[in-house]
Amino acid sequence: MTHPRLGASWEGFALEEIVRWRGAGEGEAFFWAVHARAELDLLIVKHGRRHGYEIEYSDRPRATRSMRAALEQLALDELLVVHPGSGEAVLDAGVRAVGLDSLLAARP
């Protein structure tokens, strides 16, 4: 639990699981970043909808300026902050935190 690469490893695992869960094919899943340091771990564009995912290995995820920028600049239909916990919470307008297990148990 204290290994310095735990967060990055968990992020890779969560990204793969979300892409599979959404059934995103080639050309539907992206990483997004701009020079102003705003970024989004995963953008899935499918069936005319834009789903944003920020992956955080944290028990207290929070909304950030980067997330708000992604939400606005990408005109996202939803932005989910995916974490290893089981809880779900509204973090900001258009930004919701959800545990990976809860997300994968829901219908895409």
Instruction: Give the CATH number, domain containing residue 56.
Output: 3.40.1350
Per DSSP, the three-state class of 23 is: coil
- Strands 78-83 vs 95-99: parallel, antiparallel or unpaired: parallel
The pTM is what? 0.92
Model confidence pLDDT, tens digit, residues 65-92: 999 999 999 999 999 999 998 889 999 9
- CA separation for the pair 108, 104 (Å, rounded): 8
The pLDDT of residue 61: 93
The pLDDT of residue 35: 85
The residue written with tokens 């920020």 in the block is 54
Q: Is residue 78 part of a domain?
A: yes
Q: Is residue 1 part of a domain?
A: no
Per the structure, how many domains does the chain have?
A: 1
Distances in whole angstroms, Cα of residue 46 to Cα of each of 35, 69, 101, 103 = 26, 21, 22, 17
- CA separation for the pair 56, 12 (Å, rounded): 11
